[in-house]
Amino acid sequence: MKLTPLDLRHQEFSGSLSGYSRKDVRLYLEQVADDLEEVLREQQRKEESLQLAQQRLDEFKQSEEELRRTLVAAERMANELRATAQRESEVLLKEAELSHDALIREARQEAARIVAEAEVQTQALLSEGRARSEREMRAFEEEFERRRRETEELLRGLREEVERVRSERNQFLAQYRGMLEGFLELLGRYS
């Protein structure tokens, strides 16, 4: 049977003639009861502290599990984002190439149409010029030379436009690749 401090305080002993002093025994029992109370209080404090520590440990374990699940989800999302970015970059590159090719085709067609028109006009002017007088022939040659210069300037402008479009396309592709590489590098850092 366990003794409590209260049991010690109320313990009674039968008396005898040659026994111990009742007062000394009572003081001793009071002292033992006080010490036992202190030990019991300390034990209760330690048990409460242990329970708190166990609760915190359980909370940490739960937090750790949640963090693990979050990390797995983040890795999955990073992989999906990387794959999506790769697919989108391929689509954008293809669209840019198609757009560039279409612009070049249009520029070549326009240049060919202008050259054909100039040749038709030139032939018409040559035919008319042969039938005209020398004065008219000079005026015709001046007109022909003016139109030839205009045609050359137009062709030069078209060539410059084609070069500008090609340069813009190359800049666009370079910038896009740079952005894509930066994005993939960022994804790599956080995955």
Structure tokens at 32: 């033992």
Give the least confident one: 43-47, 49-53, 141-145: 141-145
- The answer on pLDDT for 1 being more than 60 is no
Q: What is the mean pLDDT of residues 91-112?
A: 82
pLDDT at 62: 92
Helix (H, G, I), strand (E, B) or coil at 184: helix
DSSP H or E stretch at residue 60: helix 22-131
The alpha carbon of 42 is separated from its chain's Cα centroid by a whole number of angstroms, namely 54
If pLDDT is split at 50, 70 and 90, which confidence band does 16 have?
low
Query: pLDDT category, 155, cuts 50, 70, 90?
Result: confident
The tokens describing 35, both together, are 């010490």
102-154 pLDDT, tens digit per residue, is 888 888 888 888 888 888 888 887 776 666 667 777 777 888 888 888 888 88
Say if residue 47's pLDDT is above 90.
Answer: yes
**Residue 106: what pLDDT?**
83
pLDDT at 56: 93
Render 96-135 in DSSP notation, one character per residue. HHHHHHHHHHHHHHHHHHHHHHHHHHHHHHHHHHHHS-HH
Residue 17 has pLDDT above 70, yes or no: no
User: What are the tens digits of pLDDT across the range 56-67?
Assistant: 999 999 989 998
What pLDDT is stored for residue 44 in this prediction? 94
Is 78 in contact with 190 (CB distance < 8 Å)?
Answer: yes
Give dist(CA 64, CA 93) in Å, integer: 43
Q: Are 104 and 159 in contact (CB under 8 A)?
A: no
Structural tokens at position 170: 């190359």
